[in-house]
Amino acid sequence: MSAISPAEAHNGGWIIIDVRSAGERAVACVPGSIHAPLETVDLDTSSFPPGRIALLCKAGTRARLAQARLSLCGIDAAVIEGGMDRWQREGLPVSSSTVSHWSLERQVRFGAGLLVVVFTLLAASVSPWFLVCSGLVGCGLVFAGATDICMMGNLLARMPWNRIRSGG
């Protein structure tokens, strides 16, 4: 079986493996699902309980990639069509552990883009030296991409809107 609907996954006794990032999962996740980010999904499949596996991501693309990886390991898994976006549109149960409704990755992209725009405007209206600040933001993004260490992401993760809710 290659694909199932969110309702089938919810009502059919499937083991749901969430292949999204930890930040995306903190914003909203399927209660009882197992977190296995795409980049690690085929490294330790022994942690998956026995049963029918359904893969979940935001819209379906990463779940299909995970399905191909698991297939190489001899594991048959279905993709939840439309991913978390469709799951939520259909009103199926979701839990959240943070106040923010934006993933950390989205917050970083917004913050970096805003800084570049502001520094570029300041360079055009105040002093060309503000272009150095735009360049530093670019260097930070290159560093984050090359090392998977994002200083802006680490800072944003400490903000009040990204803190774990105490009430669950």
| Res 16: pLDDT | 95
- CA atoms of 70 and 66, how far apart (whole Å): 6
| Res 101: pLDDT | 67
Q: Where are the domains of the chain?
A: 3-89, 104-162
DSSP codes of every residue in 81-141: TTHHHHHHHTT---B--BS-SS-HHHHHHHHHHHHHHHHHHHHHHT-TTHHHHHHHHHHHH
| Res 167: pLDDT | 44
- CA atoms of 140 and 156, how far apart (whole Å): 14
Q: Mean pLDDT, to the nearest integer, of 21-38?
A: 85
Please say if the pLDDT value at position 73 is more than 90.
Answer: no
Q: Mean pLDDT, to the nearest integer, of 99-126?
A: 87
pLDDT band of residue 166 (cuts 50, 70, 90) is very low
| Res 103: pLDDT | 73
pLDDT band of residue 98 (cuts 50, 70, 90) is low
What would the CATH number be for the domain defined by 3-89?
A: 3.40.250.10
pLDDT band of residue 165 (cuts 50, 70, 90) is low
- CA atoms of 148 and 55, how far apart (whole Å): 24
Helix crossing, 130-147 with 104-125: angle to 10°? 160
Burial 66-79 (b: 16+ CB within 10 A, else e): bbebbeeeeeebbb
| Res 25: pLDDT | 82
pLDDT band of residue 145 (cuts 50, 70, 90) is confident
